[in-house]
Amino acid sequence: MKALITGGAGFIGSHLAEELLEQGHEVYLIDDLSTGSIENIEHLKNRKGFNYTIDTILNPSITAELVDKCDVVFHLAAAVGVMLIVESPVRTIETNIKGTEAILLHANKKKKKVIIASTSEVYGKSDQKSFREDGDLILGPTTKSRWSYACSKAIDEFLALAYWKEKNLPVVVIRLFNIVGPRQTGRYGMVIPRFVKQALLNHPITVFGDGKQSRCFSHVKDTVRALVKLSRTDEAVGEVINIGSDDEISIEELAKRIKTLTKSKSKIQYIPYSDAYEEGFEDMMRRVPDLGKIKKLIGHKSKHSLDDILKDVIEYYKSR
């Protein structure tokens, strides 16, 4: 199989490239390095079957050529991270919608399968006990830039599914829930790398809000393994599928666990959302995926616990 990964020099993209190469597939990736890093793929440059292009997917001639070469496209290129979303809403909306539109347009010419990376953010302020793919999406007002990312990714989903229904383009929409592991940066608000770096430096571990909000974290290696399986599963075409873990932990407890694992002297410091992001910032109190569909489709089960994830991230930052 020949696979194209957009955003391939990013955190998830670089791990996906590794997984595909290990399985004997040929990999092409494209990244404009706006949030990805050449350092993430440095170790892959001499691997047989690895090819990379530093450019934007909005360059039509380059993207068309890469899509034509491949059997499947993993579309991961996007603006990511709450901090970036709040600070650069125009970039967030344009990058996500225009980028997805470009990939679908080129893929449709020769009906290449597209795996679209969406996000748990699209569930918005839903109060479901666990988020099912067919559940309602409840977003906040357009005056809160926090919701621009969720809205742009929801549009990506609508567009991808429209290509499937109207043009018969094989697409799979994946909603990712808090994927974590080595190479993830805390620069744009990702909580675990940010906490780990603070703890290792004995700086205050900064918890936004009261810390009672809860999340479920999944190891990137479990995630990319599932992505590859789903790309080969015909029953997944035309579906929206959650990927993540349902092992729930509060952000406050997460900070305490990281402090313990790193043997840090850091204090845990609580910062109001208005100071961390913007006045009137809204957050989800719980975000837990229903994993029934992915288990039925590919028998997916996480191999890594939360402690495994934290230890891997801690070792990664210690080595740096």
Q: CATH number, domain at 29?
A: 3.40.50.720
Cut 0.85: pTM above it? yes
Taking residues 47-59, what's their average pLDDT?
97
Among 149, 163, 188, 277, the active-site one is 149
For 254-312, the pLDDT digits (tens) are 999 999 999 999 999 999 887 867 666 777 889 999 999 999 999 999 999 999 999 99
For 61, residues 6+ apart whose C-beta sits below 8 A from its C-beta are: none
What's the pLDDT at 311?
97
Q: List CB contacts of 278: < 8 A, sequence separation 6 or more.
A: 86, 145, 146
Within a domain: 75: yes
Domain annotation covers residue 170: yes
Nearest Cα residue to 230 out of 285, 166, 169, 300: 300
Q: What is the pLDDT of residue 278?
A: 65
Per the annotation, the verdict on 149 as an active-site residue is yes
The pLDDT of residue 283 is 77
Q: What is the sign of the dihedral through the CA atoms of 136, 107, 172 and 170?
A: positive
Checking DSSP bridges between strand 26-31 and strand 2-6, what pairing results, if any?
parallel
pLDDT higher than 70, residue 82: no
- Domain membership of residue 154 as a residue range: 2-179+220-244+287-302
Q: Does any domain span residue 261?
A: no
% the chain with pLDDT above 90: 81
Residues 6+ apart with CB under 8 A from 258: 192, 195, 196, 199, 205, 264, 310, 314
Counting the structural domains of the chain, the total is: 1
For all residues of the chain together, what is the average pLDDT? 93
